[in-house]
Amino acid sequence: MGSQIGVTGLAVMGQNLARNIARHGFPVAVHNRSESRTKQLIERYGDEGDFTPATSLEDFVASLDRPRRIVIMVKAGGPVDAVIDELVPLLDRGDILIDGGNSHFEDTRRREKALAERGLHFLGTGVSGGEEGALNGPSIMPGGPDDAYAPVAEILTTIAAQVDGTPCAAHIGPDGAGHYVKMAHNGIEYADMQLIAEAYDLLTSGAGMSAPEIAQTFEQWNEGDLESFLIETTATVLGHTDAATGRPLVDVILDEAEQKGTGRWTAQSALELGVPVTAITEAVYARALSARKEQRTRAAGVLPGPAGGSTPDGFVDAVRDALYASKVVAYAQGFEQMRAASDEYDWNVDPGTLATIWRGGCIIRARFLDRIKEAYERSPELPNLLLDDYFRDAVAGAQDAWRKVVRTAVDLGVPTPAFSASLAYYDGFRRERGPASLIQGLRDYFGAHTYRRVDREGVFHTLWSEDGREVSAD
Ligand code: 6PG
């Protein structure tokens, strides 16, 4: 008997995923382009399960049971195509390739189609949870044909994180659906982290608290509705002292945020779909602005801010409430985007399933996801989470604090792009009639772009140069 599954690409994520598979009793073949990593894995962890190390892709493929199940854990982009190209001649019809990296969903769609033409299955699979998750239970989002998922379902659901006995892995939909929702997960992760960073900024440069004090605040917040991996991790990072200087580590880390692309892709796709995901997009912009250190340093010396001021009473609690309300908006937007993408590409993605499998294993895991799961149970077709009773009440309860925090931020000159954009979205969303009538009027004036009326059916144009006479433009 051969191995039930193989993993090629043994950097930390691949290595940990292979160990996770082996620890659950599934015989696993392992392969890496440079042999030293394979050797190292076997030397260090070979006794954790039934590993079959392979030095060549030929041996690797030959050691697998059929249909062959191969997880590719290499860098997104060209390296995935390179591995696929090498593997394809060695495979037979019905074999299954599983790309577990952060691939762009359009690449996944292309690969799935090309491989299907050769009788091979492709599962573009989002895997979230970082190194620790890969080893001890990630959240897994496979996308591809039913025929490809069925033979790997048992392994994937077994190695995934489990919450209340439910695995954090489920078949998301066909072709690029799995990688799309992983991309959106990361976009939401960007928004979550930006909101946390803004809260930290308000408490430090606004309220003058130290990093250890803010660490304690986050620890307390983690006892309530905000309870999540990222809030808990924030408390850990803020509470950490730099060994070399004795200062809080966060104070010696350079303030330039890097990014690998998934947040940007989320924003790009949202723009194409016409879905306003302002919190995620502001988070991407904030990282870009942070990276302009040289320009910011120049500007800091010449651009004046407000005269100064203080934070109001109860500010810390208000920031917590503002963070929660903004987070609701960020998730409402992200889930709306995934629904729009699902409609656009005909994926039939179930948002309730996403909320369920994101409750554990992944980076955005949170108590909050239970609330989202419940909202979709109450109303599977819910168009926007803000319209759910629980979230409506949560935001209504937080809105005074939310407005106070944004006002204070403006007065103090502390930038809160994600807090502010979320609040603006909320106010825009709850308006039955907004100012777009004027935009339509302007468009009609300078470009005869026409408009519709509130009181009559049809399409109209005003002859602006002829005393504003109106004609039907049908
Ligand atoms: C996860 C993470 C993981 C990775 C991000 C980081 O779900 O496990 O999201 O995929 O940490 O890709 O992305 P940036 O480097 O762009 O912040």
Point out which residues pair with 125 in neighbouring strands.
Answer: 142
Look up residue 201 and give its two tokens: 């900024």
- Establish whether residue 385 lines the binding site of ligand 1, counting it when its CB lies within 6 angstroms of any ligand atom: no
Closest atom of ligand 1 relative to the 364 alpha carbon: 7
Q: Which residues are catalytic?
A: 182, 189
Whether this prediction's pTM lies above 0.80 is answered by yes
- Establish whether residue 194 lines the binding site of ligand 1, counting it when its CB lies within 6 angstroms of any ligand atom: no
- Establish whether residue 129 lines the binding site of ligand 1, counting it when its CB lies within 6 angstroms of any ligand atom: yes
- Establish whether residue 189 lines the binding site of ligand 1, counting it when its CB lies within 6 angstroms of any ligand atom: yes
Look up residue 352 and give its two tokens: 């309730």
Atom 10 in ligand 1: which residue has the minimum CA distance? 128
CA 369 centroid distance within chain: 13
* Neighbour order of strands in the sheet with 69-72: 51-54, 28-31, 5-8, 69-72, 96-99, 121-128, 139-143
What DSSP designation does 276 have?
-
Is the pLDDT reported for residue 146 higher than 80?
Answer: yes
pLDDT tens by residue, 177-214: 999 999 999 999 999 999 999 999 999 999 999 999 99
What DSSP designation does 125 have?
E
| Dist. CA 104–CA 451, nearest whole Å | 38
Tell me if residue 182 falls in helix, strand or coil. Answer: helix
pLDDT tens by residue, 385-415: 999 999 999 999 999 999 999 999 999 999 9
ipTM score assigned to the predicted complex = 0.97
Closest atom of ligand 1 relative to the 182 alpha carbon: 7
- Establish whether residue 130 lines the binding site of ligand 1, counting it when its CB lies within 6 angstroms of any ligand atom: yes
Please state, as a whole number, how many other Cβ atoms lie within 10 Å of the Cβ of residue 253. Answer: 10
| Dist. CA 327–CA 318, nearest whole Å | 14
Residue 138 C-alpha to ligand 1 middle, in angstroms? Answer: 13
What phi, psi does 310 have (nearest 5°)?
A: -130, 170
Atom 5 in ligand 1: which residue has the minimum CA distance? 186
Mean pLDDT for the stretch of residues 355-365: 97
Atom 9 in ligand 1: which residue has the minimum CA distance? 186
pLDDT of residue 1: 78
Handedness of CA 379, 383, 387, 391 (dihedral sign): positive
Nearest to 279 by CA among 350, 334, 232: 334
pLDDT of residue 308: 81
Look up residue 323 and give its two tokens: 């963070």
Tell me if residue 450 falls in helix, strand or coil. Answer: coil
- Establish whether residue 260 lines the binding site of ligand 1, counting it when its CB lies within 6 angstroms of any ligand atom: yes
- Establish whether residue 353 lines the binding site of ligand 1, counting it when its CB lies within 6 angstroms of any ligand atom: no
Closest atom of ligand 1 relative to the 189 alpha carbon: 9
Look up residue 415 and give its two tokens: 């930038």
Q: DSSP H helical segments within 244-382, as ranges?
A: 249-252, 262-273, 278-290, 293-302, 315-345, 351-357, 368-378
> Angle at Cα 455 formed by Cα 453 and Cα 458, nearest 5°?
50
| Dist. CA 407–CA 412, nearest whole Å | 9
pLDDT tens by residue, 41-73: 999 999 999 999 999 999 999 999 999 999 999
Point out which residues pair with 228 in neighbouring strands.
Answer: 366
Mutate to test the pocket of ligand 1, among 17, 141, 182, 260 (most ligand atoms within 8 A of CB): 260
pLDDT tens by residue, 65-115: 999 999 999 999 999 999 999 999 999 999 999 999 999 999 999 999 999
